[in-house]
Structure 1
């Protein structure tokens, strides 16, 4: 059943420290979409952590992918010790210019399994549905690796932003990002999305190895929008767009495939992720019901918080110091997986009394329009 309800909602801005009991508001860049309300969030500030035991929403991964399965010259060995904070806590006082965040390292040596060691961390939540997903990262300048920030349900429902360091050319100012949606069509073609209409390569306007920049994709019904530092990179739409809940993955790897990752890298290489922010609706019916009850229970005191669109570039906080991959090679052990830190500078207090009937309808149908949009399924 499809519900569409037009409703004029009074929104009064207010600076507040209240919990965002009624969700997170994003003003969409497409005028026809008005504004979009998401019910859940995940905000992880790796740059402020003392150790990764604080990153409780994330899990380091350990698994092997054979050369055949990965379509490469070598296999891939994902190791927990390749995920760690950089720089080390004891280094912070001595080098205040060194970027701090979670490092994902790719090794330069071929292992006994004829593989290249790699790194991956995944969100613990697997119910991340329609939403806006953002990662602030500094990439590696060492040629021969693939860095990826992506949303994943399965091999035929996947949204990727992938960066191939072999494609970077500082002299020519060429810094491509590959925007990819994997679908049932790409699965039939050996997971090659280039022939399905959901593959696009576009050039960044900055050197991604010299500063932290925000990479973002908005996953909405029938549409995916990609951004870098708030600027639209591309749009993909149609039946190949995923339609399930999934999870977010940060990954850095190489398998020697000269048509993709290249490599192995000549030296250990690391990307650094300062933060990840996700504002989304849950695919879990129980979580949706919990949100509905919590928001309704707060009545007029319920709060909708504004999602900040400020990026590192817009705020003047871009770190232009060189990326020091060499420090990644000196790390012997990684902290245990795990943290979470968040705050919102602004909130929107809503007049919730007229919304109670609206929330009842929201629980009955997939799409609701009342000046805001909330999508469920």
Structure 2
């Protein structure tokens, strides 16, 4: 006979499953496309399919309350001018990350906890304030709760600010010498000349020795975008692979970096919008509040967590054994590329859960981050129950 504790756990897992629906045929992983023939200069280097076991998809454009989404964590901390190598400090605040309005208006329509008065909208806004307080500029950061994100394909739909004097960043991070970065400096944008640079960076031990100036190393490239990134949403992506990183915009290859400077371990994903007055980088502070809007994040990756790896392997095995075709091919989902034509919506999503239901973070015992994310303290028991419940839903 099941104990009350056991029944309670099973009931909690049923609730999670009802609010965390994922395409039933993805138990064995995801295939993404890495295509040389998508380069902007017409170069054809051949196609490559990349296989990843895990998924994390966040539809910010459907969200009404970012504070309820345990997959992501708003950050609050201060960086001094000296530590940040700027003329001003940076004051990261919870209120600087909020859900935007439905009509595309970037006005802050949220309560102090990050919730919105609307029914969803363009996404999550990260604001850099124009008023300096105590020698620090108000800035914004949103981090993934999971820290086990290893090799993978990481994508974000973003609309950049046209206000001069900020740095918008989408990056993977382990520490200051293991970082993969896409950064956009609004002071560099020139709509008349159609100049919209993307700064593509890998921070490494070499960049640390150069005073964290990656431009003095071989892992810094500036590529001009062929569109105005402030006029609408576009998908920015990097594929983090063994000994190489590929950078994309709307699925068009921007650059590739290789070698020992490429990180090799797990980390997390960070969305950041900041300014510290450094005339050589962010510039600023901005003359008016500047907003970076993020409509979604998609991540297809391999986890460094052994419990997650074991759960994935068992889930795939069960799915194959219950299938008429015992091969895993019919349980692997192919990820469609997002192009300029559908960048505003993000294309297809496998995660069909309600973006406004509370979701689990990295240490949520329910495993509420869906496919392959059971990092509970009682991982073995929870995973076994979850797999049984999943099979009853197929």
Aligned to 1:18: 24
1:103 aligns with 2:140: no
**Which secondary structure state, in structure 2, belongs to the residue aligned with residue 28 of structure 1?**
strand
Where structure 2 has 5 or more consecutive residues not aligned to the other structure, the ranges are 1-21, 37-44, 102-108, 110-115, 347-355, 362-367, 372-394
Aligned to 2:337: 309
1:24 Cα offset (Å):
0.7
1:76 aligns with 2:104: no
Structure number having the greater strand percentage: 1
Q: Using CA pairs under 8 Å that are at least 6 residues apart, name the structure with larger relative contact order, 1 or 2.
A: 1
Q: 1:293 to 1:234 in 2, by over 3 A?
A: same
1:195 Cα offset (Å):
1.4
TM-score (norm 2): 0.73
- Provide the rounded CA distance (Å) in 2 between the counterparts of 1:343 and 1:169: 42
**Which secondary structure state, in structure 2, belongs to the residue aligned with residue 70 of structure 1?**
coil
- Which of 229, 238, 263 aligns to 1:208? It is 229
- Provide the rounded CA distance (Å) in 1 between the counterparts of 2:190 and 2:369: 36
1:41 aligns with 2:62: no
- Which of 66, 69, 73 aligns to 1:55? It is 69
1:233-285 superposed Cα distances (whole Å, 9 cap, x missing partner): 10000000000100000000000000000000001111100000000001122
TM-score (norm 1): 0.76
1:115 aligns with 2:136: yes
1:269-307 superposed Cα distances (whole Å, 9 cap, x missing partner): 111000000000011222112211221122253511111
1:310 Cα offset (Å):
2.5
- Provide the rounded CA distance (Å) in 1 between the counterparts of 2:296 and 2:150: 20
1:119-170 superposed Cα distances (whole Å, 9 cap, x missing partner): 0010000010100000000010110000000000111000000000000011
**Which secondary structure state, in structure 1, belongs to the residue aligned with residue 173 of structure 2?**
strand
Q: 1:110 to 1:169 in 2, by over 3 A?
A: same
Where structure 1 has 5 or more consecutive residues not aligned to the other structure, the ranges are 1-15, 94-98, 320-334, 345-377
1:27 aligns with 2:33: yes
1:338 Cα offset (Å):
6.7
Q: 1:120 to 1:260 in 2, by over 3 A?
A: same
- Provide the rounded CA distance (Å) in 1 between the counterparts of 2:92 and 2:23: 40
State the Cα RMSD in Å.
2.7
1:51 Cα offset (Å):
1.8
User: How many residues matched?
Assistant: 307
Aligned to 1:280: 301
1:184 aligns with 2:205: yes
Is the 8 Å Cα contact of residues 179 and 201 (structure 1) preserved in structure 2? yes
- Which of 58, 63, 85 aligns to 2:99? It is 85
- Provide the rounded CA distance (Å) in 1 between the counterparts of 2:169 and 2:345: 20
